[in-house]
Structure 1
Amino acid sequence: MEAPSIYYYSEYNFEYSSTGKADPNPMRPGSWLYPANATTIQPPVTGSQEAAIFNKQTQQWDVKPDWRKVSLWSKITAQQIWPYQIQIGDTPDSLQATALQPPALFPVWKGDGWVTDMLALENASRAELKRRLERALSQRRLLLDAIEIDVASKVEKDSLPSWTDYCLALAKVPQQAGWPYMEKLEWPQQPA
């Protein structure tokens, strides 16, 4: 007599894991041993985002959503939801998530897609411009002070026009066609 097929499931979440054969019972010839967390009830065929879960109360298999192997992003935070954060039964709707990857800078979910939060992008671009310009103006001011009190070296005197040009080039960054998209901007090269 051929050993019956058995279907193993996880002891933690009862998810179908594998198929095997029952072992013969040495104490009772003609009968079989069935291990814990296994059943002789064949699990149903599941789709790509589904899992077969054994229901111990009804002694049947249930098919539940399973999005653990799909990359999802939160529509609220635009952060990736990691597989360990997704449980069997969760769906993109229940997680307020999407499989659409958000754009790199300042994504916001609107309707059925990601858009760039233009106000946040422009504020970040302005902050970056301000940071660079303040540092450049500070360096230029130091050079001017050193020249004014006649303690500047020849190299420092020669570098003043470069720093002046750099400051003017930074001031013109918002006039670029790519403004305020930081990844499209050509930031001027800071003098050595």
Structure 2
Amino acid sequence: MAKQFTHLEPHHHRFIAEQHMFFTASAAATGRVNISPRSTDMFRILGDNAVMYLDRTGSGNETAAHIKADGRLTIMFCAVSGPPLIMRLYGQGRVIRRDSDEFADRLRDLFDDRAPLGARQMVHLDFDLVQTSCGYGVPLFEYTEERPQMDAWARAKGVDGLEAYWQEKNQVSIDGFPTGFFEQAAPPTA
């Protein structure tokens, strides 16, 4: 049976800390729905109603395009080991641009001022609904390790190659929605 909560409770924090993977789901009013798997190594809990992750370069930038178009974002965790459970965080996302003061502040405070090569932006989620469900249908798997290909790919591209890749692949979604990737960050408000 699904259970709903208005915020993360202590047992939800513990559950998230035990996971190695999460999924983001986003959509604009029209076009395709996007679901992306991500490693929790770049995921951070900011409070009982806010989370974020440092987003690394991918073959597309659908989540950013959908957030720009609509704002809705869902993050889902599902236990692939231990007791079965699925948890979804429903809310409004926003992208934190690489050139912003907020990006620099969060990088310093949450990531020891180190971004992996290929870090393209951060995604913040303010949520007002946490829903858990049984997870009985999720198969059991054992975590082995993070894949080395992302870091190797980014090193092979280098800084200039990543910039060119972002220009070519990360400016619009597969449905043609702009991602805002190269827009200037908004100046801080006084």
Structure 2-normalised TM-score?
A: 0.19
Bigger relative contact order, structure 1 or 2, given CA contacts below 8 A and separation 6+? 2
Structure with more helix by fraction: 1
| Larger CA Rg, structure 1 vs 2 | 1
Structure 1-normalised TM-score?
A: 0.19
